[in-house]
Amino acid sequence: MLASLDCPRLAAATLTVILAAVVVTPLCGFLFGCGCTWPWAGLEAHCNVHDASAPAHCPWCMRPAIASLTFAIATSVGVVAAVAGRLGASASGQVGARRGTSPRATSGSPAVGERPWLEIARRTLTGLSTYAALSTAAAWLIAQAASYPAFLR
């Protein structure tokens, strides 16, 4: 499968994985208000899971297997989204198809003359948006199941 990927798709898939790994901990802090932060600022060192007197503990940090599974699924689907398409694509996969455009311009590959970095950025944004949406939905379900009081507060 990887051999059949063109450069922008492979780059977007790779960037989606790397960026998802970087933002997972601050996303945890944002969603659960638990104190988790960026890798260079301490990761989970300030999470309420380390505070015995906290009224509730972060559901992701208390259940690392569930958090890891959530991350793996959301990232995998994000990578598929980054490889498969980009924001603004219609159901047929055509992006802004107009009369007189080259067939390559509507095939999901960059249009002739389009900058490859723009295609990579579009695909990566699609992957990360998918990752964030699935992670948020899964986090909400986990927060509800754990009766965690501070989801998105």
pLDDT of residue 66: 95
Q: 42 lies in a domain?
A: no
Total tally of structural domains belonging to the chain = 1
pLDDT higher than 60, residue 77: yes
Q: 141 lies in a domain?
A: yes
What is the span of the domain harbouring residue 120? Answer: 2-25+57-89+100-145
> How many whole angstroms separate alpha carbon 86 and alpha carbon 6?
14
**CA distance readout (Å), 33 to 2, 58, 150:** 38, 8, 6
Q: 31 lies in a domain?
A: no
**Residue carrying the six token digits 């958090």:** 67
pLDDT higher than 80, residue 144: yes
pLDDT of residue 6: 84
CB contact at 8 A, 135 and 74: yes
pLDDT of residue 115: 82
40-69 per-position pLDDT tens digit: 999 999 999 999 999 999 999 999 999 999
CA nearest neighbour of 86 among 153, 30, 6, 145: 6
Q: 19 lies in a domain?
A: yes
CA nearest neighbour of 39 among 24, 51, 49: 24
Q: 62 lies in a domain?
A: yes
> How many whole angstroms separate alpha carbon 61 and alpha carbon 137?
17
pLDDT higher than 80, residue 114: no
18-47 per-position pLDDT tens digit: 999 999 999 999 999 999 999 999 999 999
Q: 82 lies in a domain?
A: yes
pLDDT of residue 39: 95
Q: 16 lies in a domain?
A: yes
pLDDT of residue 113: 56
93-105 per-position pLDDT tens digit: 444 444 444 444 4
Q: 33 lies in a domain?
A: no
Q: Which residues contact 65 (CB under 8 A, 6 or more apart)?
A: none
> How many whole angstroms separate alpha carbon 47 and alpha carbon 101?
52
